[in-house]
Amino acid sequence: MLLRPGRRSRGGAGLSGLAAGAWCLLAATATHAGGAWVPARGLNYVELSTTYASTDLRYDAAGSPAPFERLGPGSPRTTYRDFGLHLYGEAGLGRGFGIEGDVTWRSARALEPATIFRTNGPADARLQLKRGFRAGSILWAVSVEGRFPMGYDAADYPSLGSGHTDAGANLHVGSGNRVGYVTGEIGILKRGGPERDEWPYAVQAGLNLTRTLQLIGDARGHGVFGNISDAAGAGAAFDPQTASSRLTMVGPGAAYAPVSGLRISANAWRSVAGANVPRGWMWKFGVARTR
Amino acid sequence: MTFRMRGRAARWSLLGLGAWAAAAGCGHSVEPRAPYQAADRLPVPSDLRVGLTLGGDVLLTWRASAGDRAVVDGWIVERRRSTESDFVSVGPALVRDTTYLDNTIGDGERAAYRVRAITGAGLASLPAESNLIRSDRFGPSAPTGLTVAPLSAALRISFVASPEPDVQLYLVRLEAQNGSEPPRDGSTLASPDTVSGLTPGIAYGVTVTAVDSAGRVSFPPGTPVVGVPGP
């Protein structure tokens, strides 16, 4: 069952850790690894999820809350909506190695009083290779990953992504037992475009309320190397996908496993700090098959 | 059986979501939004004014309310020279402020301007249009050939007019050479002209400068021409 640690992952922390680590990967932020748990050879995890955010607020380049105005102060107020459909999978390769990846279909909209901007289509794909280790009750892993645009035009507003290939490396640490689990990760992400490089991070804890129900708390985001400027202030349109940014968001979540091999999860994040990113809530609903 | 049903349901769910994503399509669009779907629904710039800067550029200003700014991205400026039949865009594709300085118009050219509000969808409002204005970057040249002839308690002043077509008048200054009187300033529209009420026997230094339609004054001649009114 979902919340039982033990037999399914290489490190022995179990499906609870695997699933809990995995469901947070589609947070539409730079950090997205499945935690320190690496599936044993032949095991896999597949999740289909949606994310949704709608806001007319943002953090400006200095980190101050500001209206979401596409062309900067004084321009029409913009409501930014971002819907994502994500397919995520991870599989054990044996010898402590695992591979994971995701693809996203995204629908981004910017609504202004007189204009609607729409962009739909495949966004970015991500592929990560991970190697897990164990030190007593602590699991840890290192991973390298690449993120690739899937054919969209980053010049379209709003963009579906940066339009560049990014590369990153992460360190994951976690531990779990019958009561719950804790996992954290930190990494670096080398941006392929003009955006500043980032250091993504995440901390997540899960509490097993019953054998089938799990309560989750999550904090995640990404910092940035160097200073960032306000693209909109220079006269260009502000687009979260193409701007250098930083972000911190926190939120609750819950996971439910009605039957073996099925996991349903929902959670929400609220941005609490950032720069050049939308400000507000983001929602996620996911259905996963574990094996 | 239960597992089989669940697997089948999961596959159908995946297929359904995939089909939905495909139906939603891939692509990009920018569309006007009701009720701002026609030019006559967009706010027209108000109180359009044109003027000349000291350098002779044409400065346009107009007004937009907060409500206007909430709708439009900015404005586009169009110009039609008096020698042209159509308005053409000048300056940047989008003017974000309610002022525009046209420094590309030539000296002496006359032009009318239009300003239209424009939305993010590229829809432009009906225009606000200005009257013709003439650019003036340079002052007139000074009149030449100044001569002064004595009359009874007066001087007859003659000169060759400045060649610029926009010269509006000439300033005439008479200064008593012995300093016994304050300078006398007057104006004339053309040459020749007579300045009367002068004191016979006193030598007056006379200078003439030209003034154009923009108020620019020509450089004065180097040395005043002296004349002495007769008795």
Identify whether the C-beta of residue A223 lies closer than 8 Å to the C-beta of residue A15: no
Q: Rounded to an integer, what distance in angstroms lies between the CA atom of residue B175 and that of residue B167?
A: 24
- C-alpha distance from B121 to closest chain A C-alpha (Å): 6
| pLDDT interval class at B14 (50, 70, 90) | low
Residue B226's Cα: distance from chain center in Å? Answer: 41
Name the more confident of A34 and B111. Answer: B111
Provide, rounded to the nearest whole percent, the portion of chain B with pLDDT above 90: 71
Give how far B131 is from chain A: nearest CA, Å. 29
The mean of the pLDDT values for chain B is 89
Both tokens assigned to B221: 């001649």
Q: List CB contacts (< 8 A) between A89 and chain B.
A: none
Token couple for A287: 């259905």
pLDDT digits (tens, 9 = 90+) for B161-219: 999 888 999 999 999 999 899 999 999 999 999 999 999 999 999 999 999 887 889 98
Q: Would you call A155 an interface residue with chain B, using a CB distance cutoff of 8 Å?
A: no
B-chain residue closest to A113, CA distance = B71
Distance in angstroms (rounded) separating the CA atoms of residues B208 and A35: 90
Whether B46 has a pLDDT exceeding 50, the answer reads: yes
Say which DSSP state A9 is in. Answer: B
Task: Count Cβ atoms within 10 A of the Cβ of residue B112 and give its class: 0-12 exposed, 13-18 middle, 19 or more buried.
Answer: middle
The answer to whether B123 faces chain A, any CB pair under 8 Å, is: yes
B54 touching A, CB under 8 A?
A: no
Query: Is B17 close to A121, i.e. CB distance below 8 A?
Result: no
A112/B33 Cβ within 8 A: yes
The Cα–Cα gap between B141 and B162 comes to 6
Q: What is the pLDDT of residues B150-163, one digit of tens each?
A: 999 999 999 999 99
Is the pLDDT at B6 greater than 60? The verdict is no
Task: Output the pLDDT for position B3.
Answer: 42
Question: What is the pTM (predicted TM-score) of this model?
Answer: 0.77
| Minimum CA–CA partner of B22 in chain A | A121
Distance of residue B108 Cα from the nearest chain A Cα, in angstroms: 34
Question: How much is the ipTM here?
Answer: 0.80
Residues paired with A258 in a beta bridge: none
Instruction: Compute the count of residue pairs across chains A and B with CB atoms less than 8 Å apart.
Output: 89
CB-CB neighbors (< 8 A) of A119 in chain B: 27-28
Residues in chain A: 291
Question: Would you say B194 and B154 are in contact if contact means Cβ atoms under 8 Å apart?
Answer: yes
Q: Are B109 and B90 in contact (CB under 8 A)?
A: no
Helix (H, G, I), strand (E, B) or coil at A273: strand
In the prediction, which pLDDT does A73 show? 84
Write down the pLDDT at residue B13: 64
Q: What is the pLDDT of residue A216?
A: 95
Q: What is the pLDDT of residue B9?
A: 62
Q: Which residues of chain A are modeled with pLDDT < 70?
A: 1-34, 230-235
- What is the SS3 assignment for chain B? CHHHHHHHHHHHHHHHHHHHHHHHCCEEEEEECCCCCCHHHCCCCEEEEEEECCCCCEEEEEECCHHHHCCCCEEEEEEEECCCCCCEEEEEEEECCCEEEECCCCCCCEEEEEEEEECCCCCECCCEECCCEECCCCCCCCCEEEEEEEEECEEEEEEECCCCCCEEEEEEEEEECCCCCCCEEEEECCCCEEEECCCCCCCEEEEEEEEECCCCECCCCCCCEEECCEC
Residue A147 has which token pair? Answer: 């993120």
Nearest to A75 among B17, B24, B73 (CB): B73
The nearest alpha carbon in chain B to A262 belongs to: B6
Tell me the helices (H) and strands (E) count for chain A, helix number first: 1, 15
The DSSP secondary-structure symbol of A39 reads: B
- Three-state SS at A232: helix
Mean pLDDT of B9-33: 74
Name the pairing type of β-strands B99-102 and B74-81. unpaired
Answer whether A62's CB lies under 8 Å from A32's CB.
no
